[in-house]
Amino acid sequence: MKIYINGKFYSKADAVVSVYDHGLLYGDGVFEGIRAYGGRIFKLREHIDRLYESAKSIMLKMPITKNKLMEEIIRTVRANGLKDAYIRLVVTRGIGKLGLNPFHCGKPQIIIIADKIVLYPKAFYEKGLSVVTVPTQRNIAEAVNPRIKSLNYLNNILAKIEACNAGVHEAIMLNASGYVAECTGDNIFIVKKGVLKTPPLYMGILEGITRDEIIRLARQFGIEVMETILTRHDIFNADECFLTGTAAELIPVVKVDERVVGTGKPGAVTRKLTAAFHELVRRVGVAV
Ligand code: PMP
């Protein structure tokens, strides 16, 4: 495996960063999870745009242009001879001193790992996931805005721990007002009476690239889509529920807090959108 760090490739064993890097010391940095299907990188430009927005928000000055970064990602996937890949793009604040001040750090470090990922066991894609809501609330936007895809994922990790403790693979996180926000690494959708519903960005969520794509696909099919406030009650009483994310793709949810959702099986809208998504990712994207 060849891992990219600041323009050079290293073996997995040699791909290391300084213990003075503020990415390690403070979780100070940003990242993206990107995917390639059949030799095409899906929504590369959108991921790069989101990364630069996250970087701008935390006043991290990207050391290379967007075009150059896209070239470097393609070069890394190629160097690893991968057609299907999960690409982890990480930008750390760089090497600094002890102490929070990010302005004492040198150049941001760019790391690109092209590998594989299996987020949930395969069987759940066919029979659906069981999930729980957890006590850990999603970060409020006025503290750390969930739209920043930052290296500090403790908020989500705490929720993931609660999911694991409950014996399930994923958690639904509520915001500080008790409304449904998103899952630890995925956005959430429900279908009710034929309408596809998902929480709006102002509920305090990451603007998922898969989420945007599913909204677009659904509208193409003539399905009504509403970005609307959702409560646990709405999820319990949904006809269908599913999660979206680059790593997760689309995964059905059939049980929430021990309430069976809909028929307890992946629903028709979920299956239709899943098929359309799988067809799309193989057709579009930047060729490697
Ligand atoms: N929410 C969170 C908290 C995430 O970390 C992610 C990405 N893993 C998503 C949603 C889904 O975003 P995307 O579709 O862009 O991968």
pLDDT in tens, 60-101: 999 999 999 999 999 999 999 999 999 999 999 999 999 999
- Which stretch of 60-74, 106-120, 225-239 has the lowest confidence by average pLDDT? 106-120
Q: 12 with 137, same domain?
A: no
Q: Which atom of ligand 1 is nearest to the CA of 206?
A: 1
Question: What's the CA-to-centroid distance between 186 and ligand 1, angstroms?
Answer: 5
How many C-beta neighbours within 10 Å does residue 213 have? 21
Q: 96 with 134, same domain?
A: no
Q: What is the pLDDT of residue 149?
A: 98
* Total structural domains within the chain: 2
Tokens of 148: 């920043």
Residue 286 lies in a domain: no
Q: What is the pLDDT of residue 17?
A: 95
Is residue 243 within 6 Å of ligand 1 at its C-beta? no
pLDDT-based confidence at 121, cuts 50/70/90?
confident
Is residue 199 within 6 Å of ligand 1 at its C-beta? no
Q: What is the pLDDT of residue 118?
A: 84
Residue 264 lies in a domain: yes
* Mean pLDDT, residues 234-256 taken together: 98
Residue 218 lies in a domain: yes
For tokens 């807090």, name the residue: 257
Is residue 187 within 6 Å of ligand 1 at its C-beta? yes
Q: 63 with 18, same domain?
A: yes
Query: pTM of the prediction?
Result: 0.96
Question: Which domain range does residue 131 map to?
Answer: 122-281
pLDDT tens string 128-183: 999 999 999 999 999 999 999 999 999 999 999 999 999 999 999 999 999 999 99
Q: What percent of the chain has pLDDT over 90?
A: 97
Residue 288 lies in a domain: no
Q: What percent of the chain has pLDDT over 70?
A: 100
Q: 252 with 136, same domain?
A: yes
Is 149 a residue of the active site? Answer: yes
Q: Which atom of ligand 1 is nearest to the CA of 184?
A: 3
Average pLDDT, the chain: 97
- Probe target for ligand 1 pocket from 31, 246, 273, with the most ligand atoms within 8 Å of CB: 246
Q: Which of 95, 115, 135 is where one domain is finished? A: 115
Question: What's the CA-to-centroid distance between 104 and ligand 1, angstroms?
Answer: 30
The dihedral through the CA atoms of 163, 182, 117, 220 has a sign that is positive
What distances in angstroms separate CA 6 from CA 29, 96, 103, 211, 266, one per listed residue?
15, 16, 19, 31, 43
Q: What is the pLDDT of residue 146?
A: 97
Instruction: Pick the catalytic residue from 68, 116, 122, 149.
Output: 149
